[in-house]
Amino acid sequence: MWYNNILETIGNTPLVRLNDITKGVKGTILVKVETTNPGNSIKDRMAVKMIEDAEKAGLLKPGGTIIEGTSGNTGMGLAIAAVIKGYKCIFTTTDKQSKEKIDALRAFGAQVIVCPTNVDPEDPRSYYSVSSRLEREIPNSWKANQYDNLSNTQAHYEQTGPEIWEQTEGRITHLVAGVGTGGTISGAGRYLKEKNPNIQVWGIDSYGSVFKKYKETGIFDKEEIYPYSTEGIGEDFLPKNVDFDVIDLFEKVTDKDAALMTREIARREGIFAGNSAGAAVAGLLQLRERLDENSVVVIILHDHGSRYMGKMYNEDWLRERGFLKDEKLTAQAILKK
Ligand code: PMP
């Protein structure tokens, strides 16, 4: 038995119960470990779906160039698919992203342009603007546009949602996921709510992002926006892939809690995951009073820890931010809050 190429190995990721971090929390807490995808993140799923839909629509033609503004994980998925399908890739990213992620994209032959983080999306230097300009200038190029391309949500509606439903034999009561483009939570959440409208869908947001306030008030509040270190979740605009009707609530998690919880997932559960995984687990612990003995929670762990060796898995990085002195206390502190 073999696969015809690496893209066929995407998906069917394991669902694993948390046992130690969640002591004292009611219900069954499961994590969907997306690190086993070839690009080590959930984003492989939507990357391939966006490319295939663009091919079908005639937007991406043989030998073409794929362009995207990406924090790394989507780029990995696109870059791997491009190798197999014979496309070139140019990515724009921000200087907030880990060096490991950028080097990994280059490993697959992609060109990466690093842009400043703290400029408005409309600024010509932003990674959004630079990627749009490249699409205009390069012939036979296609911008994937993961934020507004609804093939992203559709990938999770077709794959991630059904996998979770089958793996829990329909017993899932809560879906918890960090929200960036919104594709994961909107697609998987929509599928699961169609199966059982009582399923709660909880989005994890960052301090410094607009989602939570927008959900609660309908107001896009620029005052909410400020720089933060958590990677992959939260935004300073409203992507089309965030379906606010599917998401029941947003919970914000601090950079410190997200970073320290990411480490605890490795140390206490043996699962080596990325920054947004820590945010999602910390967010669920913050919301634990809403669970009961019958709750079956599925938390998405979006990516692998190897991309964060220079960040929360590095003690100097933690010390510089004053995060280290509170380590070991994170889960207990959140449980006491
Ligand atoms: N975590 C990580 C590490 C990510 O790269 C992303 C994608 N930006 C997310 C969470 C959020 O997923 P989505 O874009 O599907 O909302």
Annotated active-site residue 222? The verdict is: no
166-210 residue pLDDT tens: 999 999 999 999 999 999 999 999 999 999 999 999 999 999 999
Question: Sheet containing 65-69: which strands, arranged edge to edge?
Answer: 111-115, 88-94, 65-69, 141-143
Higher confidence at residue 331 or residue 140? Answer: 140
What is the pLDDT, as a whole number, of residue 101?
81
Question: Ligand 1 atom 9: the closest Cα is on which residue?
Answer: 232
How big is the chain by its Cα radius of gyration, in Å?
19
CA of residue 198 to ligand 1 center, whole Å: 25
User: For residues 239 and 182, what is the distance between their CA atoms, to the nearest angstrom?
Assistant: 7
3-state secondary structure of 67: strand
DSSP 156: I
Residue 337: pLDDT band (50, 70, 90) is low
Evaluated on CA atoms 98, 73, 152, 78, the torsion sign reads: positive
> Residue 243 to residues 7, 137, 183: CA-CA distances in angstroms?
28, 32, 8
Task: Check 43, 212, 256, 311 and give the catalytic one.
Answer: 43
User: For residues 157 and 11, what is the distance between their CA atoms, to the nearest angstrom?
Assistant: 13
Two tokens, residue 48: 């391939």
Residue 326: pLDDT band (50, 70, 90) is low
CA of residue 1 to ligand 1 center, whole Å: 32
DSSP 288: G
46: pLDDT strictly greater than 90: yes
What is the pLDDT, as a whole number, of residue 246?
98
What is the pLDDT, as a whole number, of residue 72?
84
Q: Select from 35, 43, 156, 229 the residue to mutate for testing ligand 1; criterion: most ligand atoms less than 8 Å from CB.
A: 43
Amino acid at 206: S
Ligand 1 touching residue 209 (CB < 6 A): no
3-state secondary structure of 240: coil
pTM score, two decimals?
0.95
Ligand 1 touching residue 181 (CB < 6 A): yes
